[in-house]
């Protein structure tokens, strides 16, 4: 202990189990904080030297202290607006419950000219999807548009389809699918990917004040989950959208720091695979990058910054739009999914973003998407030369081992969602018939393999696809199984007819509630915590300030009600955050 200590702490957390997540994964008993940063970490006795007359001392009675969580891919502002101002279908899992919630909202808001919502599960419906006629019964004279829980499709009523000009004769647009009734050929009501745009354009954008109100509401929830750093993975050139973040950051009202990515699409800059040769883009990729950089330079607080550009290499398997190396098995037309970009266009776009010193944040689901996106990243690296780029694949649902090695060789970041690496209704209703037993069971959601290859692997919720809950994320990362709570929510009255187990016992039979294979992809609790904290900080270039409890770093710290390293794994989803500190300031207390 230094006998010449003169500085006193603003805050001391003591009599705790401090899991630091430093290089040695060491533990301590106490932490001293001053000016928003960690002064010292050590034994309870040594930290008493930092206690002065005005120091707040919190005796934690042996509770677990950890770095706050980092979520490296989500959609916070858009999702928060949906929760506060739209039809919310999360928490129910049947067609009849969806329709009842939609009906209730319409009846409670008779003066609205448009009805917009989100949250239906694609697995509830057949391959054709939800039907427009169900919504027509609720409101035939006003447009209704409901986003799926993953955001990749829209359920629209006949009024919305008519206003958007979508008819029986409307062909699938490049990069999108208009689901048709198999008997009549009429649009069924489900629009996937780029086919959504004509309906989306009908609905008014939220105001800046709505975004601000929603973000302030959201951060209270996030802080209660121990979350203090997030990445908004789709930021468009909409002043009210990015301006809401910027104003709150400048006003000092944020208790979550945000990073973001500018969304680049072929619909704006051209270069789409299958796009007509005479397509005229809104702006060139050079103009787009220049505009993004200029705006990014104007965000000067540490609480809202954009240092990356977001690309979609493909879409999602549940909508048959993930890009695969082998065809979808439930179809007889040799369908491989949607390749979003032409290779030459993606090569040049990646090269230009990389040359500008920005990160490339790529949505990657299918193994074919991984391969061609890696080709483009390697092209950029070859032309520009290597640097500490930390380019990212988000989701990483399917990828071959050779491509995992390519990711590692380029120093990439992999963002995974353990919430999804489970066998659930999506698995049985969509992945199993679409991919076949071998690909569905053994070929999805690598985790340990990514980390063992040396790839920085971080965790995300993709909120609002999944609501962030790191106890559940850690549980599913370790077991590759749904939590008991989510299992019972999803199955409802059917739950008691299933045998739910975390034990691996061979290939599952249809309907079984067992872990997703392979077993070797299970993380340890320590690896899951690392992915939730320091690896997330590294992905955002924040590892010098966040992600571990070490002297000099910002005091983003949480206190949990139990020690996740000592309790039974089934207790981990029940963990509660007792306190959350954002730069040393208590922003949440369970009391």
Task: Give the domains, in start order, of the chain with CATH numbers.
Answer: 11-68+547-589 (2.30.40.10), 74-200 (3.10.310.70), 208-411 (3.20.20.140)
The answer to whether 42 touches 19, Cβ cutoff 8 Å, is no
In terms of Cβ atoms closer than 10 Å to its own Cβ (0-12, 13-18, 19+), residue 488 is middle
Q: At 88, list the tokens.
A: 């919310």
Is-contact 581 555, C-beta < 8 A? yes
The answer for residues whose C-beta is within 8 angstroms of residue 452's C-beta and 6 or more apart is: none
Phi, psi (rounded to 5 degrees) for 40: -160, 150
When the pLDDT of each residue in the chain is averaged and rounded to a whole number, the result is 95
Closest CA to 87 of 6, 147, 13: 147
Indicate the SS3 state at residue 379.
Answer: helix
Give the pLDDT confidence of 297-342 residue by residue, as tens digits.
999 999 999 999 999 999 999 999 999 999 999 999 999 999 999 9
Is residue 228 within 8 A of residue 69, CB to CB? The reply is yes
Q: Helix, strand, or coil here: 449?
A: helix
Answer whether residue 265 shows pLDDT above 80.
Answer: yes
> Is residue 425 within 8 Å of residue 121, measured between CB atoms?
yes
The distance between the two most distant Cα atoms of the chain, rounded to a whole number of Å, is 84
Tokens of 11: 């805050």
pLDDT of residue 497: 82
SS3 content of the chain, % helix, strand, coil (to 5): 35, 20, 40
Q: In the predicted model, is pLDDT for residue 60 greater than 70?
A: yes
C-alpha 215: how far from chain center: 16
Residues 471 and 529 sit within 8 Å (Cβ to Cβ): no
How many other C-beta atoms lie within 10 A of the C-beta of residue 528?
A: 24
- How many whole angstroms separate alpha carbon 408 and alpha carbon 65? 31
When pLDDT is cut at 50, 70 and 90, the band that residue 2 belongs to is very low
CB 11 within 8 A of CB 60: no
> Would you say residue 110 has pLDDT above 90?
yes
Q: Could you report the per-residue pLDDT of 173-223, keeping only the tens digit for each?
A: 988 999 999 999 999 999 998 999 999 999 889 999 999 999 999 999 999
pLDDT at 498: 83
**pLDDT for the residue numbered 1:** 40
Write down the pTM of the prediction: 0.93
- Tokens at 254, concatenated: 């944020």
User: DSSP character for 87?
Assistant: E
For residues 506-533, average pLDDT: 93
Cis preceding linkage at 328, omega within 30 = no
SS3 554: strand
What's the rounded Cα separation, in Å, for the pair 189 and 181? 9
Q: What three-state secondary structure class fits 504? A: coil
Task: Convert the pLDDT of each residue in 386-431 to its tens digit.
Answer: 999 999 999 999 999 999 999 999 999 999 999 999 999 999 999 9
Pair 129, 179: CB distance under 8 Å? yes
- Alpha carbon distance 254, 578 (integer Å): 20
pLDDT at 485: 92
């Amino acid at each position: 202990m230094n006998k010449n200590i003169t500085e006193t702490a603003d805050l001391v957390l003591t009599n705790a189990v401090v899991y630091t997540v430093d290089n040695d994964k060491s533990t301590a008993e106490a932490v001293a904080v001053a000016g928003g940063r960690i002064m010292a970490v050590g034994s309870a006795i040594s930290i008493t030297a930092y206690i002065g007359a005005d120091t707040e001392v919190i005796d934690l009675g042996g509770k677990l202290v950890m770095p706050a969580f980092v979520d490296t891919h989500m959609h916070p502002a858009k999702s928060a607006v949906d929760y506060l101002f739209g039809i919310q279908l999360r928490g129910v899992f049947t067609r009849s419950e969806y329709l009842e919630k939609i009906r209730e909202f319409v009846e409670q808001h008779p003066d609205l000219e448009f009805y917009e919502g989100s949250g239906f599960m694609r697995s509830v419906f057949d391959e054709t999807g939800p039907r427009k006629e169900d919504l027509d019964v609720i409101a035939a004279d006003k447009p209704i548009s409901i986003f799926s829980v993953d955001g990749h499709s829209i359920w629209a009523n006949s009024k919305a389809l008519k206003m958007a000009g979508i008819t029986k004769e409307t062909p699938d647009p490049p990069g999108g699918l208009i689901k048709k009734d198999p008997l009549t050929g009429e649009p069924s009501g489900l629009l996937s990917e780029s086919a959504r745009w004509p309906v989306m354009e009908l609905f008014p954008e939220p105001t800046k004040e709505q975004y601000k109100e929603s973000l302030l509401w959201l951060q209270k929830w996030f802080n209660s989950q121990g979350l203090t750093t997030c990445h908004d993975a789709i930021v468009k050139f909409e002043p009210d959208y990015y301006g809401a973040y910027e104003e709150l950051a400048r006003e000092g009202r944020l208790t979550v720091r945000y990073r973001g990515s500018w969304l680049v699409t072929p619909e704006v800059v051209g270069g789409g695979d299958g796009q007509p040769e005479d397509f005229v883009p809104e702006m060139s990729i050079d103009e787009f990058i220049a505009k993004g950089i200029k705006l990014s330079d104007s965000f000067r607080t540490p609480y809202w910054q954009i240092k990356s550009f977001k690309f979609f290499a493909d879409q999602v398997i549940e909508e048959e739009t993930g890009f695969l190396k082998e065809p979808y098995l439930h179809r007889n037309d040799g369908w491989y999914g949607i390749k979003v970009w032409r290779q030459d266009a993606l090569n040049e776009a990646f090269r230009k973003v990389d040359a500008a010193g920005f990160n490339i944040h790529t949505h990657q689901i299918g193994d074919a998407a991984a391969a061609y996106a890696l080709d483009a990243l390697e092209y950029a690296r070859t032309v520009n030369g290597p640097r500490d780029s930390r380019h990212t694949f988000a989701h990483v649902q399917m990828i071959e081992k050779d491509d995992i090695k390519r990711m590692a060789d380029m120093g990439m970041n992999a963002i995974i969602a353990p919430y999804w690496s489970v066998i659930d209704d999506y698995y049985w209703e969509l992945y199993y018939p679409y991919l076949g037993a071998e690909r569905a069971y053994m070929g999805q959601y690598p985790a340990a393999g990514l980390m063992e290859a040396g790839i920085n692997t971080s965790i995300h919720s993709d909120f609002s696809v999944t609501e962030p809950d790191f106890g559940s994320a850690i549980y599913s990362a370790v077991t590759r199984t749904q939590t008991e709570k989510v299992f019972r929510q999803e199955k409802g009255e059917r739950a008691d007819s299933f045998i739910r187990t975390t034990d691996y016992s061979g290939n599952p039979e249809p309907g079984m509630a067992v872990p997703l294979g392979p077993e070797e992809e299970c993380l340890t609790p320590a690896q899951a915590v690392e992915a939730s904290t320091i690896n997330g900080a590294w992905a955002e270039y924040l590892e010098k300030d966040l992600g571990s409890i070490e002297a000099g770093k910002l005091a983003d710290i949480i206190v949990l009600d139990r020690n996740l390293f000592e309790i039974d794994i089934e207790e981990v989803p029940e963990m509660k955050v007792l306190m959350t500190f954002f730069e040393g300031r208590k922003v949440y207390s369970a009391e």
